[in-house]
Structure 1
């Protein structure tokens, strides 16, 4: 079992030259995407740049990034200060209906969202609205975004290839909601960057490390305008990566084989599945649980990122929490301490590689925008992996420090909570008060 774990580590964990090689490849993919050449990075314009930090007013924000949608009212107070006045979150699927299935239509989905927006309104107030829509979209203006392709296993029909803003506007009209005026549509990474840069002018990279993964940054000279603009890279689709047999198997069994290769190696949607596939392989090879066949390790996506976090969080000598987890979820009594250590080791190896891959992409961005590292860079990060996965944030900081050696003090990673929600309000304010960047 020790040798199997050692071999797994050798196949997953990257040496520093490998990280730098991935960073170089990522930087090249950025340049190709900006130049309109073939690239796995879409390099989508946001038509927005940094906020000034003095935007003020009350704005409505809708944050649609997965199977839950949030509606917020946010007051921007200027001087980088803001306050969330109210919010509610609601699932898009329950036992009665699933708005994310192919049987549901875009009209039904956004009508449901419009109903939730209506419940947040106060009489007599006009609400400029910012929508965070965290799926690959081709923007043709600050308030126009055509969905390229659903990700995160969402399959609602009649949305791909259509302008999401128009679908929302029609839903608002159908519900006779006249107080709400859509102003901007953004990606969650853009929202995270806007939120951070509203407070900190050195923030120039925004990233999501949660269920999915993506990064945006401020391009000094955007191809469309020649001026600074936030570019949404859709970096979860980056594909020049060292794949293991487990990555290949996960990809083949996914709903979109060959797509979102990086996201399938670092995203919370897939981290647990990678761990499951490895453990299943170890069981099949009679390295673990020789007297049983735990169903959880043979059921796709039954091991979640929360389970991986639990495995990593247990630092007790006998790994009693891991033992209890095996009893409760795996129906395994009397596990050996060596088996529990192996589970924890597998989880650690998968997370270490995820951190290294994310760090490689950030390195590629910094090499692109500031090759001499002459400026301070704050990387604003939101998402459950960065915030809650034991060791993730610290390992990311250490990895970046090792890459940039003595210059690491110029690079800071920063948790930007609720960036995608507040950022939508800031985007709406930027358009409302300055007119935005024309499409």
Structure 2
């Protein structure tokens, strides 16, 4: 898109509104250093409870090594639908196959009913799926992706902190969701489960890529929300017993800035987006980056530019003045290389705006500014994580892979390129490969279960051989 198509006088005035969104490399390095401090606070035994970046232990103690095999179930509950999958891991072919899956809806009355009703509904759908697949006689391990805020105590113990996303089932908050699921299955009495592994969707993203590429030790999601996880040294995970080995930490980096540490880069538009959101003051970093909010930041900017008569001859429309009407996917459509101009014209017409060619170029510039800032901030956070792994391991140079998912990363035409280029500048000693995840919350959850089963078997074998030594 050509900035020359905008008259210099107009361009200068538009740029004035956009300058707060342009972050210098120095500023991004500062942001990265602040996140590092917050990550250390989140890991600390005595500082964790006050830390905005929660750094939750996932109890996933290894990434795949390629010897995983067998049949697994996965249950993915993160919204009004949930999925049940049967996944087969083939060691010889190094493949993870989705044998079959089924989507079940959760009716409104169950979302707002009792916990007992919810888990009985899940157990019944899981039972139907096993029946269809002729798997009822087998006792298969299950990976359970439960995308709500939980406090995890072990790989198979996870307590719901609070419901989000329109759920409000009574008697579940503060309870172990694995226990509730097992009780519901037990009550039916027609099938049983093997071991259960609770999986965060970001951890699942890392694990689903980790089977294909065993150097994958970071998972990142940039979609409706944003988050990342990575393999941390156990000696730094102060809230979990043990010094040996590593554990995957779910950073919950969306909460970065919740203590006011990002005030200097928050623009007036970010402040409005935060104030009018359903959770003001919470997830400040996420609100500058993720798909749920980018469209709204653009809309607020377009309204301001129109009021200042720099767009649409000063004429807004009802749609442009309505919160949420400028969707984040419009940004991707507007920035498309070949069809961008036509897409912009169609979107502006759909929003009831009278536009000319200069308006089309200005709107493109605004979208590019907002999506670029998102990519740059995300890069700063990812650089923090990669640099931390490198320093943790005492390496001059780290070669690692990031498993990535999320609509913003997948669908935006330039986001991934900008993110990768900025990470290279901010983490010059890290050579990072990016791998787009295949179904982190399904296949990834199955892989978490496969790895935890492998580790349990290995430690059993160790114990057996130690006992044999003693018997001699």
TM-score (norm 1): 0.89
Residue 162 of structure 1 and its aligned partner are, at CA, apart by 2.9
1:63–1:131 CA contact under 8 A, matched in 2: yes
Counterparts of 1:297 and 1:160, CA distance in 2: 39
Query: Which of 384, 390, 402 is equivalent to 2:407?
Result: 384
CA contact (8 A) 1:27 1:367 kept: no
Query: Distance in 2 between the 1:67 and 1:29 partners?
Result: 33
Question: For 1:379 and 1:336, how far apart are their aligned partners in 2?
Answer: 42
Contact 2:14–2:305 (8 Å) recurs in 1: no
**Offset from partner CA, 1:240-275 (integer Å, 9 cap, x none):** 322111111111111111111111111111121222
Match of 1:336 among 334, 347, 356: 356
Give the gaps of 5 or more residues in structure 2: 1-9, 460-472
When residues 353 and 66 of structure 1 are mapped into structure 2, their CA distance, relative to the original with a 3 A threshold, is farther
Deviations 1:209-236 (A, max 9, x none): 1111110000022332223000111111
Which residue is equivalent to 1:322? 344
Within the candidate set 378, 389, 392, 1:369 is matched to 389
Q: Would you say 1:356 and 2:368 are equivalent positions?
A: no
Question: Residue 141 of structure 1: CA displacement?
Answer: 0.6
Map of 2:177 onto structure 1:
164
1:133-173 deviation digits (Å, cap 9, x = unpaired)? 2333210010111223445x444243443322233334434
- 1:31-46 paired onto structure 2 within 5 Å: 31-36=40-45, 37=47, 38-46=50-58
Q: Does 1:213 align with 2:234?
A: no
Q: 2:309 aligns with which of 281, 286, 290?
A: 286
| Unpaired stretches in structure 1, ≥5 consecutive residues | none
Partner of 2:143: 130
TM-score relative to the length of structure 2? 0.83
Of structures 1 and 2, the larger Rg is shown by: 2
Provide the alpha-carbon RMSD of the alignment: 2.5
Tell me: CA distance 1:39–1:61, structure 2 relative to 1, closer, same or farther (3 Å): same
> Within the alignment, does 1:345 sit opposite 2:359 as a pair?
no
Q: How does 1:7-156 map to 2 (within 5 A)?
A: 7-36=16-45, 37=47, 38-49=50-61, 50-78=63-91, 80-90=94-104, 92=106, 97=108, 103-121=112-130, 122-123=133-134, 124-151=137-164, 153-156=165-168
Q: Does 1:400 align with 2:423?
A: yes
Whether contact under 8 Å (2:230, 2:250) holds in the other structure is: yes
Q: In the TM superposition, what is the alpha-carbon distance from 1:361 to its structure 2 partner?
A: 1.0
Query: C-alpha separation between the residues in 1 aligned to 2:414 and 2:190?
Result: 45
Q: 1:336 to 1:174 in 2, by over 3 A?
A: farther
Aligned residues: 427
Distance in 2, matches of 1:272 and 1:166, equals 40
Local SS of the residue matching 1:400: helix
Contact 1:5 1:345 in 2 (8 A): no
Q: 2:284 aligned with 1:261, yes or no?
A: yes
Q: 1:297 to 1:17 in 2, by over 3 A?
A: same
**Shift in Å at residue 424 of structure 1?**
0.7
Q: Give the CA deviation at 1:182.
A: 5.4
CA deviation vs aligned residue, 1:32-59 (integer Å, no higher than 9, x gap) = 1111313111111111122332111111
* Contact residue 306 and residue 314 of structure 2 kept, 8 A: no
